[in-house]
Amino acid sequence: MERTKFRRTIEYCIEKVDKGIETLELHYPASASVNGVYESIENIDWTNGFWTGMLWLAYEFTGKDKYKKEAMWQVKDFLHRIENHIAVDHHDMGFLYLPSCVAAYKLTGSEVGKKAAIMAADNLCRRFQEKGKFIQAWGALGERNNYRLIIDCLLNIPLLFWAYEETGIARYKEIALAHLTTSVGVVIRPDGSTHHTYFFDPVTGKPDHGETSQGYSDTSIWARGQAWGIYGLAIAYRYTKDPELIDKFKLVTEVFISHLPDDNIPAWDMIFTDISTIKDSSSAAIAICGILEMAKHWDLPDTYLKKADDMMNALIDKCLTSDIFGSNGILKHATYSMSDMRGVDECNIWGDYYFMEALMRYTNMSWNSYWD
Ligand code: GLY
């Protein structure tokens, strides 16, 4: 891809980060925009860490202290959140604490960031269920209606791998590996498509059934779940070097690639391949990052890299918010949830984050990721 195209796109992202800082007034963007504009929220959602991560990426792109300063008050705020147990009764500790606090620790040596991230890892460990050997995603622990894992958690367990490497405490790694083995065993169907969530029997711990929460149906292919699978398997392979994960990565990636519509921007659920279906551009951004991550650890087929390029070009050419007046978002045509019509064909903050991360990866292949 042309260097000037990347440079222009990075400049575009930085302008939007500046606009975010200006419009959010010491708050965080909501998970999804409304008409292309993020309203501001407190630090209470599973998505707050992406904004801090965008500030760290802006800091890495520009070297400007203003982004570091902005990110650092948020790192303190993330410590406050975990110390006071504010909206942390769920598994999304990796999404929250890797791009914010682990990034702060990696980039600046922040002890506040490290302390907050270790506390978040401890919180995640508390959700581990011995019966079934998985981290329970949502809801009251042990409750039959909530006794399930979700594919998204493949992006939360890297916090445990990181905590193990920092502290040497084996329990973090044991839980991460147990959850990984269980997830890979149940969420990936034989054809490489994926379940969004998978239930277990709370009495026996036996796998029970797959069910979607945000996809079209229990047998369809929720695009973002498939993308979490690609990126999660790449990170898991980086830690484990288990060759079985390469086979799973291939299966999951090939399903994603083969279900892309002609314009290379995924539909919100990949059983739809017509270009006119509502899209989820954020899934493409996640999948690109996953493919580029795997490229660091395994000599992957050129077809995967070619498709990552095609998706990246499509995002840059067709999904920037440049035609939305007053937008403080970056990537349009993302969809949070069709099941409750939340953030449909809007910007969402993880789409913006992973798009910036993809730009970082394309311009610096040896970038020290916040996720591993
Ligand atoms: N992890 C929640 C989502 O992808 O919507």
Average pLDDT, the chain: 97
Rounded to an integer, the average pLDDT of 13-29 is: 96
Which residue, by CA, sits nearest to atom 2 of ligand 1? 152
Ligand 1 pocket test, pick from 183, 228, 354 with the greatest ligand atom count within 8 Å of Cβ, gives: 228
User: What is the 8-class DSSP label of residue 205?
Assistant: -
Residue nearest to atom 1 of ligand 1 (CA): 152
Q: Ligand 1, closest atom to CA 152?
A: 1
State how far the Cα of 282 lies from the Cα of 224, in Å rounded to an integer: 7
Where exactly are the structural domains of the chain?
8-363
Helices H / strands E in the chain, number of each: 13, 7
Q: Relative to the CA of 214, which ligand 1 atom is closest? A: 5
**Mean pLDDT computed over 296-313:** 97
Taking each helix axis as running N to C, give the angle between helix 243-258 and helix 170-187, from 0 to 180 degrees, rounded to the nearest 10. 50
Ligand 1 lined by 224 (C-beta under 6 Å): yes
Long-range contacts of 117-122 (CB under 8 A, 24+ apart): 117/159, 117/162, 117/163, 118/163, 118/166, 118/167, 119/79, 119/82, 119/83, 120/78, 120/82, 120/88, 120/93, 120/96, 120/159, 121/93, 121/97, 121/159, 121/160, 121/162, 121/163, 121/172
**Model pTM?**
0.98
- What is the pLDDT, as a whole number, of residue 1? 65
- Is 247 an active-site residue? no
The CATH number for 8-363, chosen from 1.50.10.10, 3.30.559.10, 3.40.50.2300, 3.40.50.720, is 1.50.10.10
CA dist., res. 220 & res. 271, Å (int) = 6
User: Which residue's C-alpha comes closest to atom 5 of ligand 1?
Assistant: 336
Predicted local confidence at residue 3, as pLDDT: 80
pLDDT in tens, 262-294: 999 999 999 999 999 999 999 999 999 999 999
Q: Which atom of ligand 1 is nearest to the CA of 150?
A: 1
Question: CA-to-CA distance for 3 and 27, rounded, in angstroms?
Answer: 34
Question: Ligand 1 pocket test: which of 155, 350, 353 has the largest number of ligand atoms within 8 Å of its C-beta?
Answer: 350
> Tens digit of pLDDT for each residue in 80-112?
999 999 999 999 999 999 999 999 999 999 999
Per-residue DSSP letter, 306:
H
Average pLDDT over residues 321-341: 97
Instruction: Note if 152 is an active site residue.
Output: yes
The catalytic position among 92, 269, 280, 352 is 92
The arithmetic mean of pLDDT across residues 3-13, rounded, is 94
- Dist. CA 273 → ligand 1 center (Å): 21
CA of 280 to the centre of ligand 1 (A): 12
Query: pLDDT tens digit string along 58-87?
Result: 999 999 999 999 999 999 999 999 999 999
Q: What percent of the chain has pLDDT over 90?
A: 98
Question: Is the Cβ atom of 152 under 6 angstroms away from ligand 1?
Answer: yes
Confidence of residue 301 (pLDDT cuts 50, 70, 90): very high
